[in-house]
């Protein structure tokens, strides 16, 4: 087995606990039916950007390699387009699986290091929980506080979008 991340932090018992909790949920139960045909990876428009394809994610989950999966960029790149689900011969809800994994990664502090998507996602979830809806300007402000060096580039994009009446 090739590990994606050389700096493992979880003890095997901790990985087993995470794995057990994942497979007790609805998404985990569905994953058991995967036949590893690879149609999901072949259909995914983001597969070329992912460090693990969707098929590989399911394979690692079933083998108990929770840390590899939870630390991967893949779970943050999924845009829930449903292309994989539409074509999966077993009807496995891969987008739901990715969602559950994102929440688990945040809850257990395992989100991919040095990658900004988890911060955006966490802001999104916090607003949804607190306010029942998400404001794009609040989301952008929260992101700006965490990553101030990104803001000049984002502001110029926002101005261009405003000029074209896209926001």
Which residues lie near ligand SF4 (CB under 6 A)? 34-40, 43-44, 46, 54-55, 58, 78-84, 88-90, 92, 94-95, 98
What one-character DSSP code corresponds to residue 159? Answer: H
- Residue number with CB closer to ligand SF4 (98 or 104): 98
Q: Shortest gap between Cβ of 72 and ligand SF4 (angstroms)?
A: 12
Joined tokens for residue 45: 């428009």
Joined tokens for residue 32: 């058991």
* CA torsion through residues 128, 126, 139, 117, sign: negative
CA distance 157 to 97: 32
Q: Shortest gap between Cβ of 59 and ligand SF4 (angstroms)?
A: 8
Q: Shortest gap between Cβ of 86 and ligand SF4 (angstroms)?
A: 9
Q: Shortest gap between Cβ of 164 and ligand SF4 (angstroms)?
A: 27
Q: Shortest gap between Cβ of 141 and ligand SF4 (angstroms)?
A: 27
- Residue number with CB closer to ligand SF4 (61 or 142): 61
- Residue number with CB closer to ligand SF4 (9 or 82): 82
What one-character DSSP code corresponds to residue 6? Answer: S
CA distance 155 to 167: 12
Joined tokens for residue 112: 């991919």
Q: Which SS3 state, helix, strand or coil, does residue 137 take?
A: helix
Q: Which residues of 100-123 are buried (b: 16+ CB within 10 A; e: fewer)?
A: bbbebbbebebbbeeeeebbbbeb
Joined tokens for residue 60: 């690692």
- Residue number with CB closer to ligand SF4 (60 or 142): 60
- Residue number with CB closer to ligand SF4 (106 or 158): 106
């Amino acid at each position: 087995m090739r590990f994606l991340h050389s700096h493992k932090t979880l003890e095997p018992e901790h990985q087993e606990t995470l794995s057990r909790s994942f497979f007790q949920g609805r998404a985990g139960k569905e994953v058991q039916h995967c036949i590893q045909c690879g149609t999901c990876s072949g259909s995914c428009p983001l597969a070329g950007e992912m460090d693990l394809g969707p098929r590989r994610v399911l394979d690692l989950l079933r083998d108990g390699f929770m840390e590899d999966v939870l630390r991967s960029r893949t779970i943050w790149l999924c845009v829930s387009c449903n292309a994989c689900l539409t074509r999966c011969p077993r009807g496995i809800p891969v987008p739901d699986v990715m969602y559950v994994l994102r929440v688990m990664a945040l809850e257990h502090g395992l989100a991919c290091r040095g990658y900004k998507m988890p911060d955006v996602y966490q802001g999104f979830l916090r607003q949804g929980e607190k306010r029942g809806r998400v404001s794009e300007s609040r989301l952008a402000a929260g992101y700006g506080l965490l990553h101030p060096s990104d803001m000049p580039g984002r502001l110029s994009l926002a101005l261009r979008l405003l000029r074209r009446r896209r926001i």
